[in-house]
Amino acid sequence: MQLFDFSLKFNGFDINKAKLALDDIQALHGDEFERYLNNKRKEIVAFHLENNSFYKSLGKNISLNDWDSVPVMTKRHLQQPLEQRLSNGYTKDAVYVNKTSGSSGDPFIFAKDKWCHALTWAEIMNRFSWYGIDFNTSKQARFYGIPLDKKGYYKERLKDWFSNRFRFSVFDLSDNAFEKVLSKFKSTAFDYINGYTSPIVQFAKYLKRERVILKSVCPTLKVCIVTSEMLFDEDKTLLKTQFGIPVVNEYGASELDLIAFQNPDDQWLVNHETLYVEILDDDDNVLPYGQEGRIVITSLYNKAHPFIRYDIGDVGILSEESTLQKPILKKLIGRTNDIAILPSGKTAAGLTFYYITKSVIENDGNVSEFVIEQLAIDTFKIKYVSRRILTPNEETVVKQEMERYLEPNISIDFERVKVLKRTKAGKLKQFVSKLNS
């Protein structure tokens, strides 16, 4: 029985029709695809100008024949009651409603009409199938957060059962917890791993300490798919080595869709079927392939709620090899609000600090994970989890590296903690600026 498909249909998402529609889009080539894309962009803008008063007030100066006249939306625009943002004919009870994680600092409730959400699942299932994963039959080892209240907890457990997955807690990353995780892998025929990057990396570090290759104790494993947090090259190598399977990087947003997914050729293929992805500069001009800018996305099918030229808050680069029908994400750099401001006035992506520090303090395996906080214009704190406290010499090396890559006269404090604070969803935010707060 196709239990996963059945659960989608039961909730009003016509997954069979969506799969056929996706097949039709993927069959388009060349001029046919370009016409499809131009028509869908124009159609979704026209629909919301006609049926959505919120969008009508935002897009007063839009010309349907001039895409550049379409304004860029941000999460700030959307921080008003959902009822005021829904299109005519759609109610909260008749659409898919969810809330973003708030990892960008701007959480909000959003909606998708049921057809749009069915297409989202068709897209996800299509990409996972590249690695032999069938959501109806493949068993998932899931590393995600879970609500701690009784109602939310059991609701997620029920969804896990329908989705043929077993969920591991990401709030306890101790060796005792990982020993139980490993035991479950030994006794369960898992087909794939899916979840947040940081707890999966910590599990791989545990396996390395225990000298265990996961595939040797769970031979059914095919692939590991990580999402929601940055995956660094060294960590990807670690995962491949300790799991003994391919490692795939997924990039998505709950309010939109799956945005990009690494294909078997190791290209981060952008979703071009149900989304339109642009890279813009600070003045909202489209940048050529190969240049770094803000990632701005249009949902081509969401009629319940407009996401049109929506600035998701991330910075990235589309590869020079990209085409309209095969856009490739060359690099995902981080979030626009994760910016460190230095005493000289220079700015740097917050993940720059994390990357520099990571290369220094994780070398000997003592530090398992850490985060960086900017407390003042010249003051940063590194909170870390480790088997032993860093020595003064180790702290000095970190400070020297950060000054070498960035600038001198930066104060770096260190704090060893037992566990790092995660969001309610279980995500770990690697860099946090406290300057605005």
What pLDDT does residue 53 have?
Answer: 94
Q: How far is it, in rounded angstroms, from Cα 296 to Cα 277?
A: 6
pLDDT digits (tens, 9 = 90+) for 207-231: 999 999 999 999 999 999 998 877 8
Write down the domain spans for the chain.
3-335, 339-433
Residues 6+ apart with CB under 8 A from 358: 232, 234, 370
Average pLDDT over residues 87-116: 80
pLDDT digits (tens, 9 = 90+) for 340-389: 888 888 877 676 777 677 767 766 678 888 888 999 999 999 999 888 99
What pLDDT does residue 402 have?
Answer: 84
Count, residues in the chain: 437
What pLDDT does residue 150 have?
Answer: 75
Fold of the CATH domain 3-335: Rossmann fold (3.40.50)
Nearest CA among 161, 60, 118, 173 for reference residue 302: 118
What pLDDT does residue 407 have?
Answer: 84
What pLDDT does residue 406 have?
Answer: 81
Residue 40 has pLDDT above 90, yes or no: yes
pLDDT digits (tens, 9 = 90+) for 293-347: 999 999 999 999 999 999 998 889 999 999 999 999 998 876 655 678 888 888 7
More reliable by pLDDT, 208 or 7? 208
pLDDT band for position 27 (cuts 50, 70, 90): very high
Q: Which CATH class is domain 339-433?
A: alpha beta
Average pLDDT over residues 272-297: 96
What pLDDT does residue 351 have?
Answer: 67
Q: How far is it, in rounded angstroms, from Cα 294 to Cα 274?
A: 19
Residue 99 has pLDDT above 70, yes or no: yes
Tokens 């605005």 sit at which residue?
Answer: 436
pLDDT digits (tens, 9 = 90+) for 424-435: 767 778 888 888
Mean pLDDT of the chain: 89
Average pLDDT over residues 55-70: 93
Residues 6+ apart with CB under 8 A from 176: none
What pLDDT does residue 425 have?
Answer: 65
pLDDT band for position 105 (cuts 50, 70, 90): very low
DSSP string, 198-232: HHHHHHHHHHHHHT--HHHH-TT--EEEEESS---
Residue 405 has pLDDT above 90, yes or no: no
Residues 6+ apart with CB under 8 A from 272: 37, 324, 325, 326, 327
Q: Which of 123-127, 394-398, 402-406 has the lowest mean pLDDT?
A: 402-406
What pLDDT does residue 80 have?
Answer: 83
pLDDT digits (tens, 9 = 90+) for 158-174: 888 878 899 998 877 88
Most confidently modeled range among 238-242, 363-367, 391-395: 238-242
What pLDDT does residue 309 have?
Answer: 97
pLDDT digits (tens, 9 = 90+) for 174-205: 889 899 999 999 999 999 999 988 889 989 99
Tokens 């306890």 sit at which residue?
Answer: 172
What pLDDT does residue 435 have?
Answer: 80
Residues 6+ apart with CB under 8 A from 408: none
